[in-house]
């Protein structure tokens, strides 16, 4: 089967695929009951980070931060959770520098899933 698939679908022996129209029917359903299809829904490469937001909510971390951190200095300021939450998500997603917050800020699907409306930054 592999040899016929290799010849007809242009699959490299090491596994790299050459994306052509011929590959639309190559993926066959085996054990898992799901289908692959195109969608217009928002997708995120950081979907696992949503579970950490749930974890932090379940353990009351947001409430602890709001209780023990000072409130915003003005009515236009941000509370501590609005700073800490995106940083935690960035670190969980593999970020190492504060500039990596851009990945979280640009990920509309993740922000919508975890309830982040905006991320504070130095220019505000």
Residue 120 lies in a domain: no
Q: Residue 111's closest CA among 21, 31, 46, 17?
A: 46
Residue 36 lies in a domain: no
Residue 2 pLDDT exceeds 90: no
> How far, rounded to the nearest angstrom, does the alpha carbon of residue 91 sit from its chain's CA centroid?
12
Domain count for the chain:
1
Q: Which two tokens stand for residue 103?
A: 């990945």
Domain span at residue 97 reads 49-114
> pLDDT tens for residues 50-62?
889 988 988 999 9
Residues 89 and 104 sit within 8 Å (Cβ to Cβ)? yes
Residue 15 lies in a domain: no
| Beta-bridge partners for 11 | 17
pLDDT at residue 1 in the model: 46
Q: How many CB atoms lie within 10 A of CB 46?
A: 20
Residue 24 lies in a domain: no
Residue 107 lies in a domain: yes
Residue 90 lies in a domain: yes
Q: Residue 89's closest CA among 107, 72, 77, 71?
A: 107
How long is the chain? 124
pLDDT-based confidence at residue 8 (cuts at 50, 70, 90)? very low
- Between residues 106 and 124, the one the model is more confident about: 106
Residues 26 and 9 sit within 8 Å (Cβ to Cβ)? yes
Residue 41 lies in a domain: no
Residue 19 lies in a domain: no
Q: Which residue has the tokens 């007809």?
A: 8
């Amino acid at each position: 089967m592999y040899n016929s698939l290799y010849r007809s679908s242009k699959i490299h022996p090491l596994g790299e695929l050459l994306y052509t129209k011929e590959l639309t029917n190559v993926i066959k359903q085996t054990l898992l009951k799901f289908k692959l299809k195109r969608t217009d829904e928002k997708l995120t490469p950081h979907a696992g980070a949503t579970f950490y937001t749930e974890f932090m909510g379940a353990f009351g971390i947001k409430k602890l931060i709001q209780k023990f951190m000072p409130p915003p200095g003005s009515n236009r300021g941000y509370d501590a959770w609005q700073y800490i939450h995106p940083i935690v998500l960035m670190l969980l997603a593999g970020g190492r520098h504060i500039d990596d917050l851009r990945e979280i800020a640009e990920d509309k699907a993740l922000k919508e899933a975890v309830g982040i409306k905006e991320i504070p930054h130095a220019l505000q």
